[in-house]
Amino acid sequence: MGRAVIAGIESTAGLHLSAAIEPASSSLLDADAGELAGIGTCGIPVTSDLAAALKRSQVVIDFTRPEGAMHLLAQLQHHPIALITGTTGLNAEQQASLDDYARHAPVVQAANFSIGVNVCIKLTEMAARILDEDADVEIIEAHHRHKVDAPSGTALRLGQAVADATGRSLAENAVRCRDGHTGPRPDRAIGFATVRAGDIVGEHTVLFAAEGERIEISHKASSRMNFAAGALRAARWTAGRRPGHYDMADVLGLNEAST
């Protein structure tokens, strides 16, 4: 994702790469970020000096893991700037730290920055509100073999859209695993199925199964560039924005579209 973001910055008006960050143990340190991204030499070496990088930046884009995001937040306390984060798998305490930071700077947090996925989230919300308990809901997701969290953050966000639209608690109604004699499907359940294989970039389907018909809302990503494009759109959107916690629905104007 870092390479995709760097490549996207090169072709996005109004944005300039100020730094590319890797852990101190990374073998990529001192390599030219542009060359790593396949766009040619850009003169920005990969560094682990996060504090110095933040001093010369106006927005930071984070696609890491929860521990990396928390390290970033600790440094941002000294240099509050806009934060775009697509890191998933945060626990309650880590999420609270992110929420607290949003009081000092604009934060755009999204489980998925793909514009298409965020349209699917809105469509899922609309379908769930209309169908409510007339349809069983299952969310099927597939990712590459190296992804470490399951269900994906995007699958959980889709499940939350169903829960919010129908007045359910996702925590109480989510069914994440089925094995053995499970008995009949519980009423109001929101089921999840996970695939991890090969180099699948990301696929999500929300299945509404009613008596005599099915509705499927699907998104399939063939490249990480669509995620990068959404993150960069969010980065530009934060310019001049007040501190607060935002998501891609805010960036894309989807919240206004539903009012």
Other C-beta atoms closer than 10 Å to the C-beta of 126 total 14
Measured at the CA of 185, the angle between CA 180 and CA 190, to 5 degrees, comes to 105
Cα 52 from Cα 19, distance rounded (Å)? 9
- Contact assessment for residue 251 and residue 234, using Cβ atoms and an 8 Å cutoff: yes
The b-or-e profile of 130-146 (16+ CB within 10 A means b, else e) is ebeeebbbbbbbbbeee
Out of 143, 219, 220, 245, pick the active-site residue: 143
| 143 flagged as catalytic | yes
Question: Taking the mean position of all CA atoms in its chain, how far away is CA 104?
Answer: 21
Nearest to 32 by CA among 40, 79, 24, 239: 40
Nearest to 105 by CA among 247, 233, 250, 241: 241
The b-or-e profile of 34-69 (16+ CB within 10 A means b, else e) is bebbebeebebebbeebeebbeebebbbbbbebeeb
| 204 flagged as catalytic | no
Out of 71, 79, 147, 245, pick the active-site residue: 147
- The residue behind tokens 């935002």 is 246
For residues 219, 241, 95, 78, the Cα torsion angle rounded to the nearest 10 degrees is 130
Tell me the catalytic residues: 143, 147
